[in-house]
């Protein structure tokens, strides 16, 4: 109920006021949810049929980005180049009907070993308001998935209804999280592993891959953290449990000059520090994969229909 009313009035509330309201709510939740965020110990139980990561690696390390705006798209290439220089690869999700998604950029990414995915249609909060709306949008989303050669999807604002996602022609979805009380739809899936979502209607199922490191927006914009200590702590914990460390950041909020232009930006250095940290502290221990490859690995080894 709250969700519908919030998204109903959201367009008329100025952005900075929205941010102030969200910051107050985050402060309260930080105190009331300290036992389940950033770490919920209950999420570390491996799936029943779990046989471990490829090549005997200890944990998985996956990088994903949601490019929410045209500004984020302008910053995408710089971010991807940084990842490439450090020896990483990542998924970039674009919003097909919110800004003109550049074909040249999509090609640049895929030609250089990155992955491109679909992030809703226009990034409003109405996808799950009714079954009819979702069905109608799914038809359009499927066209972009096909045109872009994508196999995965992520909902705007992490809204989710896993049963409805069978409308999409996907091999995986990544619209959920292990634990994140700061999200508008805060029900986490309670695991730091991928899992299979069977369709039950004769269609193929798909792999769900939740994000497991707190989002950049939550840490650096809402909570105004000035370091990456929470990322490091969660990463080390996931590594110790053998789970999947899945990072979700937004080029929209990253200041490429390492400054902070306004209340909604954080320095690119925070992100590169995370990449260097995993390389130094966990060298040789992690399975670094694109979501599409991780989903393939999981469905080949664990698909139980």
Of 296, 295, 299, 292, give the one whose Cα is nearest residue 90.
292
Q: Name, in order, each residue with C-beta under 8 angstroms of 135's C-beta and a sequence gap of 6 or more.
A: 167
Query: Whose Cβ is closer to Zn ion: residue 120's or residue 205's?
Result: 120
Q: Of 68, 83, 173, 216, which lies in the binding site for Zn ion, with binding defined by CB under 5 A?
A: 68
Rounded to whole angstroms, how far apart are CA atoms 37 and 257? 31
Q: Of 40, 66, 216, 252, which lies in the binding site for Zn ion, with binding defined by CB under 5 A?
A: 66
Query: Which of the ranges 61-69, 102-110, 129-137, 197-205 carries the binding residues for Zn ion, by CB under 5 A?
Result: 61-69
Query: Whose Cβ is closer to Zn ion: residue 68's or residue 216's?
Result: 68
Q: What CA–CA distances, in Å, run from 266 to 73, 85, 92, 176, 223?
A: 16, 21, 19, 24, 12
Query: Which of the ranges 10-18, 155-163, 167-175, 184-192 carries the binding residues for Zn ion, by CB under 5 A?
Result: 155-163
* Min separation Cβ 59 and Zn ion, Å: 26
CB 224 within 8 A of CB 188: no
Q: Does the bond joining 302 to the residue before it have cis omega, within 30 degrees of 0?
A: no
Q: Of 38, 156, 181, 242, which lies in the binding site for Zn ion, with binding defined by CB under 5 A?
A: 156
Q: Does 216 bind Zn ion (CB under 5 A)?
A: no
CB 54 within 8 A of CB 297: yes
Query: Whose Cβ is closer to Zn ion: residue 157's or residue 179's?
Result: 157
Rounded to whole angstroms, how far apart are CA atoms 279 and 264? 28
* Min separation Cβ 248 and Zn ion, Å: 9
Query: Whose Cβ is closer to Zn ion: residue 124's or residue 236's?
Result: 124
Of 132, 68, 130, 128, give the one whose Cα is nearest residue 97.
68
* Min separation Cβ 216 and Zn ion, Å: 11
Q: Which residues bind Zn ion (CB under 5 A)?
A: 66, 68, 156
């Amino acid at each position: 109920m709250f969700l519908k009313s919030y998204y109903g009035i959201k367009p008329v509330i100025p952005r900075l006021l929205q941010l102030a309201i969200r910051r107050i709510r985050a402060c309260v939740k930080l105190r009331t949810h300290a036992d389940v965020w950033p770490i919920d110990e209950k999420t570390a139980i491996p799936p029943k049929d779990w046989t471990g990561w490829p090549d005997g690696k200890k944990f998985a390390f996956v990088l994903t980005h949601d490019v929410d705006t045209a500004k984020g798209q302008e910053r995408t290439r710089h971010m991807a180049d940084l990842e490439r220089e450090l020896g990483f690869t990542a998924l970039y999700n674009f919003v097909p009907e919110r800004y003109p998604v550049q074909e040249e950029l999509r090609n640049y990414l895929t030609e250089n070993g990155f992955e491109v995915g679909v992030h809703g249609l226009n990034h409003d909060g109405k996808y799950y308001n009714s079954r009819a709306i979702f069905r109608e949008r799914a038809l359009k989303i499927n066209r972009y998935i096909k045109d872009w050669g994508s196999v995965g999807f992520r909902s705007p604002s992490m809204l989710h209804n896993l049963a409805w996602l069978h409308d999409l022609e996907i091999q995986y979805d990544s619209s959920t999280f292990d634990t994140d009380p700061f999200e508008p739809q805060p029900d986490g899936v309670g695991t730091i592993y991928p899992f299979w979502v069977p369709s039950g209607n004769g269609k193929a199922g798909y792999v769900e891959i939740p994000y497991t490191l707190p989002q950049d927006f939550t840490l650096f914009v809402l909570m105004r953290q000035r370091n990456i200590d929470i990322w490091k702590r969660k990463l080390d914990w996931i590594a110790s449990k053998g789970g999947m460390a899945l990072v979700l950041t937004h080029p929209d909020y990253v200041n490429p000059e390492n400054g902070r232009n306004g209340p909604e930006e954080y320095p690119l250095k925070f992100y590169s520090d995370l990449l260097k940290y995993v390389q130094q502290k966990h060298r040789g221990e992690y399975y670094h994969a694109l979501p599409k490859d991780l989903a393939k690995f999981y469905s080949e080894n664990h698909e139980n229909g």
